[in-house]
Amino acid sequence: MELNNQQRRFCEEYVKNGLNGKQAYLKAYSETCNSEDTATVNASRLLTNANVLSYIKELQDELRKANIMSAIERMEWLSGVVKDINKEEVYIKTSDGEDVLAGSKNADLNTKIKAIDTLNKMSGEYRTILDGSVNHVVKLEDVLNDS
């Protein structure tokens, strides 16, 4: 069974706008529902519908993916720290204890070094080289004779 427009809107209000079931129902069905009690009951029914739950999960997955930075985005952001594009916000505390934005500043040297180190790790710049040699030869017959 496919969802109708109101069911889709209910799901979108529920996920994207963070409304509870009753609030989402009132938004989606505003033309036909004006009772909060009815909205509560019908929202509860919708939230047990397999198709509605499937669409809600799909919307939640899309939202999660949209909020995760890709490797390229992370590398660009770290590069911005090193190049003084991405700045750190500086706050001051007023006499009444409130934090107020005073401006922004470039990252300090240690932060830039950490950003470069992280970029190097992400791009595979660091490689471990194993070097070893064998100086002792063990003969199979010596091992067997010791048993």
pLDDT tens digits for range 50-69:
999 999 999 999 988 887 88
Structure tokens at 6: 């109101």
40 neighbors 21 (Cβ within 8 angstroms): yes
Tokens of 145: 């004779």
Q: How confident is the model at residue 1 (pLDDT cuts 50, 70, 90)?
A: low
Bridge-based pairing state of the strands 88-93 and 99-105: antiparallel
Residues facing residue 100 across a β-bridge: 92
Q: What is the pTM of this model?
A: 0.51
Q: What is the pLDDT of residue 126?
A: 81
Q: Which helix (H) or strand (E) holds 55?
A: helix 50-66
Terminal C-alpha separation, the chain: 73
Q: Is 142 left (phi over 0), alpha (psi -120 to 50) or beta?
A: alpha
Q: What CA–CA distance (Å, rounded) separates 147 from 136?
A: 20
Tell me the one-letter amino acid at 129: I
Digit-coded pLDDT (tens) for 121-143? 888 888 777 777 767 777 778 77
Spatial neighbors of 17 by CB under 8 A, at least 6 apart, are 24, 27
Phi, psi of 132 (to 5 degrees): -155, 160
Q: What is the largest CA-CA distance in the chain?
A: 93
